[in-house]
Amino acid sequence: MSVSKKVYLFANWKMYLDYDESNILANALAGASVNFAKKIKMVIFPSALSFYPVAQVLDDIGIASGAQNVHFEDRGGYTGENSAMMYKNAGAKFSLIGHSERRHLFGETNHEVHQKMETALSVGLTPILCVGETAKERKGNKAKDVVEIQLRAALDNLKWKPKDKLFIAYEPVWAIGTGNHCDPIEAEKMCVMIFKMASMLAKGLEVIILYGGSVNEGNIRDFLKQPDISGVLVGGASSKLDTWLQIVQNVC
Ligand code: PGA
């Protein structure tokens, strides 16, 4: 069974691959004679260290690259950080914003997520806003409330251009990197809510919802079957050539 709609396959390599490994994987992707069907839009998010060479290799084969995180200032005394403007200059087209690992491991607040959304848009990077609830919040029936707060804070008063697309990745925290993916029907329910809320908060924009959290070659189709899930943000399974190519093949 193939998936008929346009599909967004976004690969978050996190801190899984060192410089050499990132380049080897990018070159292997370039060399794999996969027919990246027109319906697939692929974006790779390499580490900051390997961003530039990887982006160049991928650009040659029509795959876009993005930042895993950006700082909200353009320049300054922010040791260890990289700005949206600097990523843009190095060839980035996209940026993840507010990934749950940034929020929960590095204490990124809703306010900072909003600042990063603003900066990404101001330099011309397309932000992928990541939202999602923890296991405790889900158990306490708070998933929708938490995600609504994240959406409202992030999308408040942003300056969009008429043709911009608003990408939102629904990534329940408890499903990320655990092998315990969200039930696709449950994910769809959250994605419908997110779609409605985002469409209201960013009137007139095309809103595209992705699911992320333990997506692999075995479950990808179950997510893409859902009417409101237009793509996936994949971590672990995107950092190995065989599983990533299998995912691509299962979508074609
Ligand atoms: P995972 O990560 O696919 O390894 O669960 C997804 C993500 O963090 O975006």
**What domains does the chain contain, in order, with CATH numbers?**
7-251 (3.20.20.70)
Burial code (b: 16+ CB inside 10 Å, e: under 16) for 180-208 equals ebbebeebbbbbebbbebbeebbeebebb
The Å distance, Cα 162 to ligand 1 centre, comes to: 30
| 181 counts as catalytic | no
Question: What pTM does this model have?
Answer: 0.96
Is any ligand 1 atom within 6 A of the Cβ of residue 177? Answer: yes
- Considering the chain, what percentage of its residues have pLDDT values greater than 70? 96
- pLDDT tens figures, 209-235: 999 999 999 999 999 999 999 999 999
Is any ligand 1 atom within 6 A of the Cβ of residue 217? Answer: no
3-class SS at 231?
strand
- Active-site residue (options: 101, 133, 171, 188): 171
- pLDDT tens figures, 154-189: 999 999 998 999 999 999 999 999 999 999 999 999
| 99 counts as catalytic | yes
